[in-house]
Amino acid sequence: MKSNIAERILANTPKDVEIFARLYGDLVVRINSILKEKNYSQKKLAESLGKKPSEINKWLKGDHNFTLRSLAKLEAELGEPILYIPKTKTFKSAGIVKTSFTVHRSTWTNTAVDFTKFKETVVKPNNKLANVS
């Protein structure tokens, strides 16, 4: 149950502050996830970026205003994307219809499937109760 004070604070919080808090939290969770996944300590990250460990600690507990430059440095050091901005592409299909789609990755992925590796099998129905066609 929320208190009246908390409800008043939330009701009077500007939308940009709500968005900032959400985005900041998402960034911190993403960075910490990458650090954990790569077995990377805050101290090691600080050393590799030429920062003090206390500064990295501030970054990851909410006392820092990330710039695009600092996010780019983090992404370069960690080797993983931190911030993602979807891109929409529009093209003409059959010369008439415009179609849009969102590009989620800017890297090429080979999705070709070699169907010669699959065996053809015949599936026999197990149900002897009914033959519906």
Per residue in 78-105, pLDDT (tens digit) is 999 988 887 766 666 566 555 555 555 5
List pLDDT tens digits, range 16-58: 988 888 889 999 999 999 999 999 999 999 999 999 999 899 8
Find, among 74, 61, 54, 72, the residue nearest to 25 by Cα: 61
- Regarding the domain delimited by 4-78, which CATH topology (the fold level of the hierarchy) does it fall under? 434 Repressor (Amino-terminal Domain) (1.10.260)
Q: How far apart are CA 114 and CA 111, in angstroms?
A: 10
Strands 97-103, 87-93: pairing is antiparallel
